[in-house]
Structure 1
Amino acid sequence: MTSSTDRIRILHVDDDPEFGELVSVYLEREEDRISVQTATTPGEAIDVLDAREIDCVVSDYDMPGMDGIELLETVRERDPDLPFVLYTGKGSEEIASDAISVGVTDYLQKERGTSQYAVLANRVTNAVEQYRSTRALEASQKRLSLFFEQSPLGVVEWTEAFEVARLNEAAEEILGYDEAELRGTHGREIVSEADRESVSGVIEALQEGAGGYHSINENVRKDGERIICEWHNRVVTDDDGDVVAIFSQFQDITERRTQRKELERQRAVIESANNTIVTIDDSSVVQSVNPAVEETFGYSPDELIGEPLTTLMGDDVADRHREAFERYLQTGERTLDWEYTEFVARHRDGSPVPVGVTFGEVVYEGERWFVGILRDISEQRARQEQVEWTNAVLSTLLGTLPVGVLAESEDREVLAANDRIFELFDLPGTPEETVGADCERIAEAVSDQFVDPEGFVDRINEIVDTDERVDGEELALADGRTFARTHEPIELPDGAGHLWTYRDITEQRAYEDRLAALNELAGELIVADSRQEIAEIGVDAARDVLDLDANAIHLYEEDRSALVPVAGTEKVFDLVNEPPTFTEGDSIAWRVFEDGEALAVDDTRDDPDIYNPESPIRSELHLPLGEYGIMMAGSPSPNDFDQQDLVLGQILAGSLVSAFEQVEQMEQRRARERELETQNERLEEFASIVSHDLRNPLNVAEGRVELAKESGDLDHLDAVERAHERMNALIDDLLTLARQGEYVSEIAPVPLDGLTRECWENVATADATLDVRTDRAVLADRGRLQQLFENLMRNAVEHAGSDVTVSVGELADGFYVADDGPGIPADAREDVFDAGYSTTDRGTGFGLSIVKQIATAHEWEIAVTEGEEGGARFEITGVSFADE
């Protein structure tokens, strides 16, 4: 039977009551000394600590109102030493670091399966036992001090004036004086100047009977040596209270104090170390081992002490170790790397444990002792394999990127580069040969390729010094090329770093300049006042924008709108393979050719090159008979024309269309990139939510199923069913967020009165009441607006009670949904739309997030405030009404 002093009282804090109950069951099964009290909120936990004696607090991190770190801070203010274990599903290095800085006893991440509860029970038991041992040690030291007071130490008898009356031999030996030399000397005289003031206070307290019974101060021996002495002082009085004598027992604790501090420091380090620290004698038998051995190897320290160290090794490793150790003892030859070596050790259950081992030799009082530090490197090996895999993937990706990439360390050494950057800068060697090279020297070596070499180098140094993020910074090269540079600071395991990319955007810039000119031309054509002006604009555009050596330009059009081509219309003709020809003589084309001036005409029936049904131009361009305008520009030098007519108007029109199509493609690509960024952000958010919110009900379901199997008690399946219902609700809301996103389909008038009453029928409202105060219709996606109302109504019933009244009314530019429940505190109104936020254990925490998403998709604003009747009121504004 477990006594009350052995019982371990645990307070488990988790906002999921099902999971809290499951943890209680498993902890009490793992250790019969454990008794668990649960709390679902930090406030409830504080109340339990006020009411009961608790040996250890086990707390989740992510909880409403106060997270696990804040609860830890509150507990530490009350009891700096009470064991506190942070047991959470939302683990990260940042949270662990914060917990350690506040003084957490241990940190454990929730995992799947029931084996985690054995680990938790072990951690809690160790923490409590260490806590109790510390308390017991303090009590023992106090009893020990009393024993010192009665031991035969140095003794001094003082007069009432606190002058030396007599000494014993031990006192003479400690102080270096004979009794005769000190008799009549005041107690302050054997104290150093630094401690005389404090000693005077001790003497006064003794003389007044108000204390001073124990002190430690610096004394000065006869030979001048300064020593630290511990004093135990007593005033002896008679029955009348008169002072009979004053005695002091003391001892020199200079060396002991120094050694004790060092020993305590070393012992604390060893006992609290996460790695196994073991000492063995020259027979390789374990003499001592710290508690960490149990977590790594499954053995308690008592099981290993007196056993050979090879107990922890596999047979092959044990044989090699035994042979190497014996050879070293006999010959001094080391055949193992004692500084650090790795091998596969053996767990108590026979399973392999990869470990890293460091051995050291100590000679103490003529005996050789060996100290080994054994560290479980399973995670290290797994991370190393992951890093190697990641490096292989990144290396392949780096090599296939179409941009030049250079990664450098904080010390400006090359970490990685790809072939493309070597091509851009015409660098010698290969990317592999450049690793470790000085990036500053590389920058100086290629700087002469730029228009401003010195500015190129200075700008790189400025970016590195300030860790500035740079995106698309353009650089002009001496050979006419243009590069775009990007810089991103990166975090590396051993410090900061820099990632640079360079792109050759010469053709892109030329294209963009040409595109800008063509866009400017399109605007000029739109506002042109005459056909003659259009003709002149076309000539200038062909020569200046398209850079064509044109002898003539033809642009055929039915009406003025055709001068601004649109992709997909029939107003843009296909460019013929061979330019058409025209007849020397009286044709319009020849007249323009001779004059060298632009000309526009409305009626082309007098032009033999165009109106003649047999004309080669008509047949090649497939022009129907009728009136067509023809815009032409001729060469100022007829001899250069060479009887050919290039249809530059078609080229110009085609270039405009191509530019429009390119812009459209770029916009589509940017839209896709923005959509991907939004999806990635949503995926990260979902991953965080799933890792925390789904893990608890999943653990509850798994644990209860296992309990049902073991006990045959089917009542456990009720908890499984509730866990599955909660997971289904979470998954449904997650899918709604993921699939529909911030998009709407067809916008149409939607009457609020009819829609809200239909939504009310779709929601389990019990005794709740709906009050619709508007008959207007809004422009919206009906299906998504229905989701918005149903989620707000369901939220009101869940948080305000089954008899709540929900009202729907109109605002100047929108509508509202309000209830007469308890409302939402002002400091929580910004958080209610966050995914996963919930103040009850029934909700999924996604309902209001979906509402926010639907409002954003319609380009509406949503805010929560206090209603007229004190409840919660959600106001949706920026809404268009159908009758406006």
Structure 2
Amino acid sequence: MIRVLHVHDDPEQLRYMKLLLEAREWDIKVESVNSPAEVPIRLLSGTFDAVLSGYWIPEINEIELGVAMRWVKDIPFILYRGRGEVAKGTLRRGADDIVSKEVDPGHEALADKLVEAVNRNRENRRREVSLNVFRALNLGSDLQSSLGDTLRIVQEDMGINAGGIRLQEGEDYPYFVFDGFHDEHILLENELCVTDVEGHLMRDDGGNPVLDCMCGNILRGRFDPYKPFFTEGGSFWTNSAAELLASTTVEDKLVRTRNTCQGEGYESAALIPIRDEGETIGLLQMNDRRPGCFDEETIRFLEGLGKIIGDSLGRVNRGREALEELELIRETLRSAPIPSLIIDPDDMLILGASYSAAQMTGIPLEELRGTPCYEALKGYESVCEDYGEECPLMQMLERRGRTSTTVAPRAGGERFIEASASPIRGPDGAIELVYLMIREDSGPSGAL
């Protein structure tokens, strides 16, 4: 749906244009004001996609109105004019487009321009929001600030009163970040797990804790895509919580809702699953006291953001698990009697080493971690290929065997070694790390 705010001083023109634009297949909803001074105020209180002006504004010209409204909300500003009624410079400085009343039928040309301008604006804005969310998730100093910035970006773009992101903690899904909700709301709604009279968690047939309310539906994947308030992607949304409660049963909603949000006056609500590799790991929540804040296209966009958030959280979790696994390998590696190294094949950095490897290279153990292998073993300032030598490590991985080469460590000068490399693969089968074992070699016969 496209929501248009129409400003005109003639009540008949306001009624006529509303009738024409809402009567066809464009899915346009028109609200009217007869004073340009009302436009910024209505933009603050409503969810509009474009502003339409159809006359010479007596109190303020179109350039000033276009500039003023964009201080409030950056949406298309379209003029509907007769011949010779367009102020010089209006299109360049104020309006996005001008439609002539002489075009027959003029209202169809106007509707086409509105749809085109709004779709273009939505596409550009959502591309920018997605990029800003991606940056927030990847450049934040910690997860709390990253998700807090993400929530702020989405709320500011949509003009939504309140929002939150729930993430799993133990067996529940409390708010990890939130903004706009009163403290009482967080106190009442933070926990979703249902308990019995003795305070014990109630569990479903699969042994999972029962999660309450509509948030529990989305987190547990309980939804009916044939119901208008659910989507095929497993989201929930409504533009009128009061109407939904009055027209549905517990069976329709698949759960007995607490109705806290509706009791606090939130009419528009959207609950979007956050998934990583098909598993729901959290939920994005958007609430607003104004009705009519969402449409199907907006919900699809939010579902796309939910996927971006889920992918990022998945990488963070997998990275944390990888670090824990790496630390375990490091602890085991330190006491290995044979000089051993863990190397990142992407940048050739040593991530872990044994004390015996530190002795062999003459580099303290803590300093050895983070040193490129070509520097520690060869004394090179850059990769081996820069010195006309093929990388022994890569050759070993390709041959799945051993190789002999010379090394020039800080301790003892040049010597011959025999080395063997084993790949450490990730869940997708790709080589993530290399385990290198080194032995002294007696001679240069097999040296590279």
Shorter-chain TM range is: 0.3 to 0.5
**Structure that is richer in helix per residue:** 1
Q: Higher relative CO (CA 8 A, sep ≥ 6), structure 1 or 2?
A: 2
TM-score normalised by structure 1 residue count: 0.18
Q: Which has the larger radius of gyration?
A: 1
